Chain A
Amino acid sequence: NAGVMQNPRHLVRRRGQEARLRCSPMKGHSHVYWYRQLPEEGLKFMVYLQKENIIDESGMPKERFSAEFPKEGPSILRIQQVVRGDSAAYFCASSPPDYPPYGYTFGSGTRLTVV
């Protein structure tokens, strides 16, 4: 997992608050993917971004969730008005432009707990 940095590692939010999860891809990687993992389940695709572009957001809930990957800075996954069901581990992965997604590299995740 070295290279893809996610922060915070743990995040606690009260219902109704906003959660912001950050992902800094590996150096030279311009593709970022976000996945959600519920306890005891596999990873579910949420969104695929390149710099300043959302390529595939077919896994994103229609409301309250948004993602961006600006020209400068990390990718951000934002969850507005969090509910208990949003509690999960959120993983980010990155890949270089000429190596999508053959074994892209994952970060260590952000564990969101909504109380």
Chain B
Amino acid sequence: GQQLNQSPQSMFIQEGEDVSMNCTSSSIFNTWLWYKQDPGEGPVLLIALYKAGELTSNGRLTAQFGITRKDSFLNISASIPSDVGIYFCAGLRGRVTFGTGTKLQVIP
């Protein structure tokens, strides 16, 4: 089946630092989505990408849809404590498949 691998699995960063995480797939996707999950809550959509090569921003977040359509990247600039959570990539082809998640901890 489709499998999405995210890296890193977890990261500890200092407040104010930039963060990069990526997601790779064995399959091509038509749409890439990035979600954030706070503890005890459901995932919330951050960014949606619809075209290969597309670069989209949402505040301090920037995501890119890889040219090969098999990968995507998420960057968070100037991290703040409320960025803590688990970030999931998800690919859409027929239905949505979620990645393994990147757990982000921000040290004030």
Contact = CB atoms under 8 A, between A and B. Distances in A.
B40 interface: yes
A106 B43 contact: yes
Nearest to A4: B42
A86 to B, nearest CB: 19
Contacts of A106: 42-44
A42 B103 CA distance: 11
A35 B100 CA distance: 14
B97 interface: yes
Size category of the A interface is 20 to 34
Interface stretch (B59-67, B69-77, B88-96): B88-96
Interface of B is mostly: strand
B43 A91 contact: yes
Contact of A107 (B42, B95, B99): B42
Interface string B29-51: 00101000000111111001000
B72 to A, nearest CB: 14
B41 A108 contact: yes
Interface string A38-75: 00011111001000000010000000000000000000
B48 A56 contact: no
A109 B97 CA distance: 18
7 contacts: A41-B100, A43-B88, A91-B43, A101-B92, A102-B31, A104-B96, A109-B41
Interface of A: 1, 4, 33, 35, 41-45, 48, 56, 91, 93, 101-109
